[in-house]
């Protein structure tokens, strides 16, 4: 994902850059040769001077899933046609439902100006409230429309585990070992790491052990058509918003396509809230109780549950 800004006389460049940094989304600013832009955060592309030069260049660059910031209704329409998202500097989202009306509005306004019979007011002076509204609406667009799930690459795993180790300095020994195991298991095909992204920021994750040997005490938990789900994590500021549930659905559907018909997971006896959450997800078949040991020797009790992936239960 990338954010493209129609940057000629654009008043929301810095707000866009600030929001993009939060979600690790790269930004490209496009302007023509009659404007001079500087930025320490964004890529700047200067195109030939001309009424539509920036529009043509931007639409060639943007792709499905990107975000376009523009006050030009025509450019927004072209961006939507390519599967990109588009937002006005006022914070208005361009959609398939409103774009035709906006284009007609622009046509009628232009016709009125050319006739000289109507006096049309220009836009109101921009204030702090306008900036606040745009920032909120851009962030809402990213949170609502830009969440994606996929199997993590080696580079993405390295990035996520490095961050986990940084966040757990008081427990560094365990996390360093877990990182090594996770990378090795994925490389050997013993496990599949699934990540949820907002923009390019990793906000949640889960892993599926698909072959014996990926996790401890895996008897009855991993088999030819049975996968064990573990390593569930969501960044605190994104919990309770449905992102992890969407990742779980994505992971289970992917496992179904790979021929798995059953999934299992483990939870510590004292984690009552998590047990309720997993039961709501369909993990209500108790398998057995077991024990797992951390790299530092800490032993914990674990309750294992399972569910089948066939039918409506697996689809939910």
CATH (domain of 35): 3.40.50
Which pLDDT score, from 0 to 100, does residue 311 have?
52
Q: Considering the chain, what percentage of its residues have pLDDT values greater than 90?
A: 83
Domain match, 173 and 51 both: no
Retrieve residue 116's tokens: 């000289």
Q: Residue 118 — very low, low, confident or very high, per pLDDT cuts 50/70/90?
A: low
pLDDT over 50 at 316, yes or no: no
Average pLDDT over every residue of 26-43: 92
Domain match, 27 and 122 both: yes
Q: Which of 60-64, 99-103, 120-124 shows the lowest per-residue confidence on average (mean pLDDT)?
A: 120-124
Domain match, 65 and 75 both: yes
Domain match, 97 and 10 both: yes
Which pLDDT score, from 0 to 100, does residue 36 have?
84
Domain match, 162 and 78 both: no
Q: Which of 49-53, 147-151, 251-255, 271-275 shows the lowest per-residue confidence on average (mean pLDDT)?
A: 49-53
Write down the mean pLDDT value for the chain: 92
Q: Residue 52 — very low, low, confident or very high, per pLDDT cuts 50/70/90?
A: confident
Structural domain containing residue 159: 147-315
C-alpha distance from residue 159 to each of 26, 156, 165, 204, 309 (Å): 17, 5, 10, 13, 31
Dist. CA 300–CA 229, nearest whole Å = 17
pLDDT over 50 at 313, yes or no: no
When comparing pLDDT for 234 and 48, which is higher?
A: 234
Average pLDDT over every residue of 248-269: 97
pLDDT over 60 at 251, yes or no: yes
CATH (domain of 159): 3.40.630.30
Domain match, 108 and 188 both: no
Average pLDDT over every residue of 44-52: 85
Which pLDDT score, from 0 to 100, does residue 116 have?
65
Per the CB < 8 A criterion, the answer to whether 263 and 255 are in contact is yes
Q: Residue 104 — very low, low, confident or very high, per pLDDT cuts 50/70/90?
A: confident
Contacts of 2 (CB under 8 A, 6+ apart): 25, 26, 27, 28, 62, 63, 66, 67
Per the CB < 8 A criterion, the answer to whether 286 and 305 are in contact is yes
Q: Per residue in 185-205, pLDDT tens?
A: 999 999 999 999 999 999 999
Dist. CA 288–CA 309, nearest whole Å = 19
Which pLDDT score, from 0 to 100, does residue 49 have?
74
Q: Residue 314 — very low, low, confident or very high, per pLDDT cuts 50/70/90?
A: very low
- The torsion angles phi and psi of 202, rounded to 5 degrees, stand at -80, 115
What separation, in Å, do the N-terminal and C-terminal C-alpha atoms of the chain show?
A: 28
Q: Considering the chain, what percentage of its residues have pLDDT values greater than 70?
A: 92
Domain match, 227 and 108 both: no
Domain end (from 127, 145, 163):
145
Domain end (from 145, 169, 203):
145
When comparing pLDDT for 282 and 118, which is higher?
A: 282
Domain match, 139 and 158 both: no
pLDDT over 60 at 295, yes or no: yes
Domain match, 128 and 274 both: no
Domain end (from 125, 145, 165):
145
Domain match, 263 and 118 both: no
Average pLDDT over every residue of 118-139: 82
Domain match, 8 and 90 both: yes
Domain match, 163 and 118 both: no
Please tell me the pTM assigned to this model.
Answer: 0.82
Q: Residue 312 — very low, low, confident or very high, per pLDDT cuts 50/70/90?
A: very low
Average pLDDT over every residue of 223-230: 97
Q: How many domains does the chain have?
A: 2
């Amino acid at each position: 994902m990338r954010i493209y800004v129609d940057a000629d006389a654009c008043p929301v460049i810095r707000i866009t850059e600030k929001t993009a940094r939060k979600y690790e989304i790269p930004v490209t600013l496009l302007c023509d040769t009659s404007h001079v832009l500087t930025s320490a955060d964004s890529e700047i592309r200067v195109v030939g001077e001309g009424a539509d030069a920036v529009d043509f260049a931007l639409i060639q660059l943007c792709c499905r899933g990107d975000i376009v910031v523009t006050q030009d209704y025509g450019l927004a329409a072209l961006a939507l046609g390519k599967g990109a998202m588009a937002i006005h500097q006022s914070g208005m989202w361009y959609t398939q439902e409103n774009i035709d009306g906006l284009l007609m509005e622009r046509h009628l306004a232009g016709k009125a100006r050319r006739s000289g019979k109507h006096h049309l007011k220009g836009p109101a002076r921009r204030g702090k409230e306008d900036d606040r509204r745009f920032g909120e609406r851009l962030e809402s667009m990213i949170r609502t429309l830009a969440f994606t799930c996929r199997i993590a690459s080696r580079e993405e795993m390295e990035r996520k585990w490095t961050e986990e180790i940084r966040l757990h300095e008081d427990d560094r020994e365990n996390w360093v070992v877990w990182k090594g195991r996770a990378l090795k298991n994925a490389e050997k095909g013993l496990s599949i790491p699934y990540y949820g992204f907002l923009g390019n920021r990793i906000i949640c994750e889960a892993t599926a052990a698909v072959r014996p040997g990926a996790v401890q005490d895996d008897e009855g938990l991993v088999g030819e058509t049975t996968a064990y789900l573990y390593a569930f994590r969501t960044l605190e500021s994104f919990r309770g918003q449905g992102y992890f549930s969407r990742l779980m659905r994505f992971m289970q559907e992917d496992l179904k396509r790979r021929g798995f018909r059953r999934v299992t997971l483990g939870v510590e006896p004292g984690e009552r809230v998590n047990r309720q959450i997993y039961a709501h997800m369909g993990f209500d078949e108790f398998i057995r109780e077991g024990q797992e040991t951390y790299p530092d020797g800490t032993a914990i009790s674990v309750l294992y549950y399972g569910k089948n992936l066939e039918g409506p239960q697996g689809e939910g």
